[in-house]
C-alpha cells in the first residue's frame, strides 16, 4: 500500500511543501493571474526591440542566466545584473512578470540585462541564492578579463558600468552581493551602482507597517513568515543578516564598501518600516544613496501586469520607476 504524502505547508497559493520533502510550485491562486508566473521562451530574434537568450554560467553547478539585448545602434550598453524575487522560494528568471518589466527596462535605458536563475529554497537554503548572485558577478568579471566569452555581452556589454538590481528578496541579494564585492578586486569590471527594489528587509518582531498596511498579491504576512522560515538556515529567525542587514547580527553598514545606491520603496508596502530603517542606517553611515518612493503603491506593483494594464495610477508609477532607474544608471 502506497502511503499518501501529507501537506506540511501551503503558502498563499504559491507553494506547497509535503512531509516527504517534495515541493509543488503550481499556482493555485486566481486563474486569471496564472499567466504572470508562466515561463517565456527565449527568442534570439528581436521582438519589440529586445532579443533574449539563456546561457549557462557554470558548467559544474549548472547555474544559468537569461540575457536581454536591446536592438540599438549603441556600440556598448551598461550591464544590469538582475536577481528575481519570490521570498527565496518561488519564481524564476523566465517568468512573464519579469519578462514584461525587464524587456521594457532594457529597451528604455538602453541596457543589457542579465537575470540569474537562482536556486530556490527550501531545497537550497540560504545563502544559496546569494552565492548564485555572487557567482554571476564573478562570471561577468571573467568575461571582462577575457577569461571566458559570451558573444552578446563581450560584444555589447560595457563592463565599466555594471549595476545590480533586485526585486523583493532579490533586493536582499543585491545588498549581499554588493557587500561581498567590496572585499575583492573586480578590475577591469566596475560595479557602478546597486538598485534594491522593495527589498525583503524584516525583523523577527512585527513592524507597525506589517500590522497596518494592506496585503497585496505579491506580499502577504503568510508569505513573509513561511517563505523566510523555509529559506533561512535551520534555527535562524528573520533577524538573520540576509533578511535583516540593519540588525545587530549583521556587519555594521559603516564598515561596508558599497557602490552608489538607488533605494526603491513603495509607500503602501507592508514591510516599509523595516525597509526605511535600512535606508536611515545607510544615510547615517554617509553612504551614497538616493531614495525613490512610489506613492500609493504596494510591494512589487510594477511586476503586476494586470494592474499596469487596468489601473492608470499603477501604469504611471511603473513608468516613473523605469524613468528613475534610467536617470540613475545614466549618471553613473
DSSP alpha helix (H) spans, the chain: 96-108, 128-144, 151-156, 169-181, 208-212, 221-231, 272-284, 305-310, 312-330
Q: How many CB atoms lie within 10 A of CB 146?
A: 9
Helix (H) or strand (E) holding 276: helix 272-284
Q: Is 269 a catalytic residue?
A: yes
Rounded distance, CA 207 to CA 127, Å? 24
Q: Which of 131, 158, 167, 269 is catalytic?
A: 269
Q: Which of 168, 207, 216, 300 is catalytic?
A: 168
- Do 294 and 264 meet the contact criterion of CB atoms below 8 Å apart? yes
- Do 186 and 177 meet the contact criterion of CB atoms below 8 Å apart? no
Q: Which 3 state secondary structure label does DSSP give 291?
A: strand
Alpha-carbon torsion 289, 294, 295, 300, what sign?
negative
- Do 278 and 201 meet the contact criterion of CB atoms below 8 Å apart? yes
Residue from 209, 274, 206, 203 nearest 238 by CA: 203
Q: Is 181 a catalytic residue?
A: no
Q: Which 3 state secondary structure label does DSSP give 290?
A: strand
> 77: which 3 cell numbers?
550598453
Rounded distance, CA 48 to CA 246, Å? 41
The residues carrying an active-site annotation are 168, 269
Amino acid at each position: 500500500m502506497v502511503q499518501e504524502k501529507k501537506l506540511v505547508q501551503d503558502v498563499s497559493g504559491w507553494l506547497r511543501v509535503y512531509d516527504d520533502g517534495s515541493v509543488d510550485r503550481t499556482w493555485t491562486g486566481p486563474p486569471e493571474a496564472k499567466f504572470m508566473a508562466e515561463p517565456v521562451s527565449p527568442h534570439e530574434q528581436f521582438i519589440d526591440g529586445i532579443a533574449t537568450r539563456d546561457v549557462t554560467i557554470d558548467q559544474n553547478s549548472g547555474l544559468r542566466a537569461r540575457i536581454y539585448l536591446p536592438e540599438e545602434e549603441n556600440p556598448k550598453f551598461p550591464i544590469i545584473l538582475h536577481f528575481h524575487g519570490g521570498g527565496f522560494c518561488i519564481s524564476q528568471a523566465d517568468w512573464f512578470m519579469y519578462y514584461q518589466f525587464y524587456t521594457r527596462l532594457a529597451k528604455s535605458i538602453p541596457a543589457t540585462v542579465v537575470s540569474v536563475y537562482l536556486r530556490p529554497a527550501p531545497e537550497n537554503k540560504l545563502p544559496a541564492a546569494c552565492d548564485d548572485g555572487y557567482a554571476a558577478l564573478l562570471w561577468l568579471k571573467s568575461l571582462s578579463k577575457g577569461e571566458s566569452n559570451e558573444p552578446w555581452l563581450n560584444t555589447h556589454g560595457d563592463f565599466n558600468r555594471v549595476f545590480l538590481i533586485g526585486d523583493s528578496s532579490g533586493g536582499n541579494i543585491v545588498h549581499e552581493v554588493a557587500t561581498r564585492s567590496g572585499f575583492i578586486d573586480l578590475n577591469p569590471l566596475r560595479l557602478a551602482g546597486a538598485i534594491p527594489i522593495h527589498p525583503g528587509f524584516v525583523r523577527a518582531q512585527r513592524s507597525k507597517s506589517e500590522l497596518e498596511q494592506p496585503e497585496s498579491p505579491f506580499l502577504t504576512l503568510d508569505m513573509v513568515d513561511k517563505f523566510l522560515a523555509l529559506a533561512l538556515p535551520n534555527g535562524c529567525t528573520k533577524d538573520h543578516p540576509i533578511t535583516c542587514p540593519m540588525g545587530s547580527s549583521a556587519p555594521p553598514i559603516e564598515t561596508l564598501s558599497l557602490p552608489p545606491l538607488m533605494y526603491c520603496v513603495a509607500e503602501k508596502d507592508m514591510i516599509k518600516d523595516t525597509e526605511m530603517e535600512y535606508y536611515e542606517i545607510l544615510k547615517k553611515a554617509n553612504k551614497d544613496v538616493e531614495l525613490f518612493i512610489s506613492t500609493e503603491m504596494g510591494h512589487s506593483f510594477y511586476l503586476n501586469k494586470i494592474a499596469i494594464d487596468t489601473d492608470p495610477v499603477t501604469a504611471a508609477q511603473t513608468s516613473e520607476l523605469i524613468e528613475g532607474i534610467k536617470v540613475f544608471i545614466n549618471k553613473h
